[in-house]
């Protein structure tokens, strides 16, 4: 995980999950275009794109159904997190770029988006993380690769198979989004959600430490600037004192 990787954005984050690599950029709130009525809650505009070289087969630059579906799930996961009442009639643009897709993309993108929002100093109720599992038969695979996802999605219709992503607000212990593709029994879904909650609980401290480290670094830079500003003044005082003594 890295913060502040896009200089033109207000906030940004880079995240690697296995071989999956994503970058998310967040920009300043702007007035909602073509808006005739007042909205008490601000909006989130999420856009997700796969780089042409992100997949085994080169992606078409035109937005496809998969990208629209993932962007919609990303929006649903982030809306309960952001304090949207603080910017009525405005929207925040969030752009996700998948540099390499080797599975668990949605979980990686949502977690990176939460980091990017924090890096942009956007007010939030809590930090958000997301993890993914793949289900095949009675087995649950955490952070599946792309090959594992495809196997589970193409499994037998008579048995449990699919991919589940769960986004969670850590401190509030609330789920902001669940996305299921496939066919999973209720009992196995409960077990999968329990595994996902546990995985999110493991990821959250890493995200928190990343944000704390950024704040500590920022405070150190401020203190260093204050020291640099004080040194010339001290030097001038000494020179003035020397002139008076002479």
Q: For 137-179, how does the pLDDT look when each residue is reduced to its tens digit (9 = 90+)?
A: 888 999 999 999 998 988 765 688 999 999 999 999 999 999 9
Q: pLDDT band at residue 232, thresholds of 50, 70 and 90?
A: low
pTM, rounded to two decimals: 0.86
Tens of pLDDT along 12-38? 999 999 999 999 999 999 988 777 788
Residue 186 pLDDT greater than 60, yes or no: yes
Q: Residue 236: what pLDDT?
A: 54
Helix axes 65-78, 105-119, angle to 10 degrees: 50
Q: Provide CB contacts within 8 A for 52, sequence distance 6+.
A: 58, 59, 61
Average pLDDT, whole number, for the chain?
87
How far is 134 from 139, CA to CA, in rounded Å?
Answer: 8
189 burial level (CB within 10 Å; 0-12, 13-18, 19+): middle
- pLDDT for the residue numbered 156: 60
d(CA 46, CA 8): 17
pLDDT, one tens digit per residue, over 89-102 is 899 999 999 999 99
Measure the CA–CA gap between 233 and 146, rounded to whole angstroms: 60
Integer Rg of the chain from CA: 23
Domains of the chain with CATH codes: 2-33+41-201 (3.30.230.70)
Q: What is the pLDDT of residue 60?
A: 62
Asked whether the predicted pLDDT for residue 228 surpasses 60, the reply is: yes
Average pLDDT over every residue of 213-230 = 79
pLDDT at position 132 is 96
Query: How many whole angstroms separate alpha carbon 220 and alpha carbon 147?
Result: 44
CA 56 to chain centre: 24
Average pLDDT over residues 188-206: 94
Q: Which residues contact 145 (CB under 8 A, 6 or more apart)?
A: 18, 19, 102, 103, 104
List the one residue out of 164, 170, 167 whose CA is nearest residue 186. Answer: 164
Residue 181 and residue 153 in contact, taking contact as beta carbons nearer than 8 Å: yes
């Amino acid at each position: 995980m890295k913060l502040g990787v896009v200089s033109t954005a207000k906030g940004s984050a880079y995240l690697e999950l296995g071989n999956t690599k994503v970058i998310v950029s967040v920009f300043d709130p702007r007035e909602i275009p073509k808006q005739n009525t007042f909205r008490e809650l601000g909006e989130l505009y999420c856009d997700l794109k796969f780089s042409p070289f992100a997949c085994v087969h080169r992606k078409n630059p035109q937005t496809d159904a998969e990208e629209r579906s993932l962007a919609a799930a990303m929006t649903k996961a982030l809306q309960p997190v952001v304090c949207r009442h603080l910017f009525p009639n405005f929207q925040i643009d969030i752009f996700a770029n998948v540099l390499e897709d080797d599975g668990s993309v949605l979980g990686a993108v949502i977690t990176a988006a939460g980091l990017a929002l924090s890096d942009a100093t956007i007010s939030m109720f809590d930090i958000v993380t997301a993890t993914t599992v793949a289900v095949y038969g009675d087995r649950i695979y955490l952070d599946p690769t792309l090959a594992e996802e495809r196997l589970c999605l193409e499994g037998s219709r008579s048995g449990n198979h699919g991919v589940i992503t769960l986004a969670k607000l850590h401190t509030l212990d609330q789920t902001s989004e669940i996305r299921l593709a496939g066919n999973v029994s209720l009992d196995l879904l409960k077990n999968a959600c329990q595994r996902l909650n546990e995985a999110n609980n493991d990821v959250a401290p890493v995200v928190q430490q990343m944000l704390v480290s950024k704040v500590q670094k920022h405070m150190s830079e401020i203190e260093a600037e204050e020291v640099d500003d004080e040194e010339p003044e001290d030097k001038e005082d000494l020179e003035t004192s020397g002139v008076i003594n002479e």
